[in-house]
């Protein structure tokens, strides 16, 4: 489905030697050194450069939200998208600060946006089906979502973009993400479902029950990643999954945000394991299951700030660390360059 080049280890020793001989004690820059190695593997060992980076927010509504799994109604999804376009959300503040170009894609918000809004129209429907009652979408919708987002990633790639960061907006999407997590990792639903935007105890119990109900309903069809998306996914999760795979296919870095984006990463890896090498995990969110997701993927996030907002905020805040890894690799003198004998 996606032809992703496995990363070669041919130049790893050369890249590591370059890192190790910088004017610093061995390993003194810690995880920034590990990140620099990964970036050089993906973008090339000679002068890797981040060019035309994009942060893409994928927005959609979820039918399960009508059953009371969030503190906010579904209408808030559309209202927040308008806030993004007006420049007033946290993700706007952070992307402006770090110099990331922000794009918002409507994957299936309840009410469409007018053509002058600036929102990219890649709608797969007006919200998914309630996953505890029926499938979220058809398999055809999943494939259409992949096709749409692949074309979008190709457009950015042709424009010289070699890094995308993923964000999302969708009331109810932590329920779908928790269901996906439980299916793929075999971790019990009780450890996957969190309190999302801050629900009370009764709502939390209902959310757990509905996710368990969804998994029981679709049990016989959850043995294939595309069917997982069709049965219990979200329109935005589908397109994030496709974006990861399409970007990796084109040799681009992919910055994963929090709980929802990591659920998409789980599905993408299930489709093609080689995409894992292109992912940078930006932060560990405060959502209950995110630590377990990252542990399952053996992923070490760059930040841990107790955040649980989504929108791509963790990915945006991690971007300066990615830039720092590139710059130290390219610009920091070696002991030989500096005339320092050790």
- Separation of alpha carbons 129 and 63, rounded Å: 5
The answer to whether the Cα torsion of 144, 150, 152, 155 is positive or negative is negative
Q: Is 311 an annotated catalytic residue?
A: yes
For residues 229 and 244, the answer to whether their CB atoms sit within 8 Å is: no
Backbone angles phi, psi at 257, to 5 degrees: -85, -120
Active-site residue, from 103, 236, 287, 311: 311
Nearest to 293 by CA among 169, 181, 159: 181
Q: Cβ–Cβ contacts within 10 Å for residue 21, how many?
A: 16
The answer to whether the Cα torsion of 211, 171, 247, 242 is positive or negative is positive
Active site residues: 311
């Amino acid at each position: 489905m996606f032809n992703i080049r496995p990363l070669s280890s041919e130049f790893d020793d050369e890249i590591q030697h370059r890192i190790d001989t910088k004017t610093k004690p061995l390993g003194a820059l810690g995880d920034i050194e590990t990140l620099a190695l990964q970036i050089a593997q993906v973008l090339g060992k000679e002068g890797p450069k981040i060019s035309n980076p994009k942060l893409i927010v994928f927005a959609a509504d979820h039918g399960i939200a009508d059953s009371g799994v969030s503190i906010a109604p579904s209408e808030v999804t559309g209202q927040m998208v308008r806030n993004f376009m007006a420049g007033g959300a946290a993700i706007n503040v952070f992307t402006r600060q770090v110099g990331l170009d922000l794009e918002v894609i409507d994957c299936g918000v309840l009410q469409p946006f007018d053509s002058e809004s600036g929102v990219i129209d890649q709608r797969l429907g007006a919200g998914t089906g309630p996953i505890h009652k029926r499938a979220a979408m058809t398999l055809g919708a999943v494939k259409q979502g992949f096709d749409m987002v692949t074309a979008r990633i190709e457009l950015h790639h042709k424009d010289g973009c070699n890094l995308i960061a993923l964000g999302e907006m969708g009331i109810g999407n932590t329920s779908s993400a928790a269901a996906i997590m439980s299916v793929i990792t075999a971790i019990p639903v009780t450890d996957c479902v969190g309190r999302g935007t801050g629900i009370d105890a009764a709502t939390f119990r209902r959310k757990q029950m509905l996710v368990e109900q969804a998994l029981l309903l679709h049990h016989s069809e959850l043995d294939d990643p595309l069917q997982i998306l069709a049965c219990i996914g979200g329109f935005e999760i589908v397109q994030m999954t496709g974006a990861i795979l399409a970007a990796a296919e084109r040799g681009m870095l992919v910055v994963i945000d929090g709980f929802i984006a990591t659920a998409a990463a789980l599905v993408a890896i299930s489709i093609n394991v080689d995409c894992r090498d292109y992912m940078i995990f930006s932060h560990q969110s405060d959502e209950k299951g995110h630590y377990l997701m990252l542990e399952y993927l053996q992923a070490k996030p760059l930040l841990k700030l107790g955040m649980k907002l989504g929108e791509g905020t963790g990915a945006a805040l991690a971007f300066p660390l990615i830039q720092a890894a590139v710059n130290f690799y390219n610009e920091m003198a070696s002991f030989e360059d500096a005339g320092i004998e050790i």
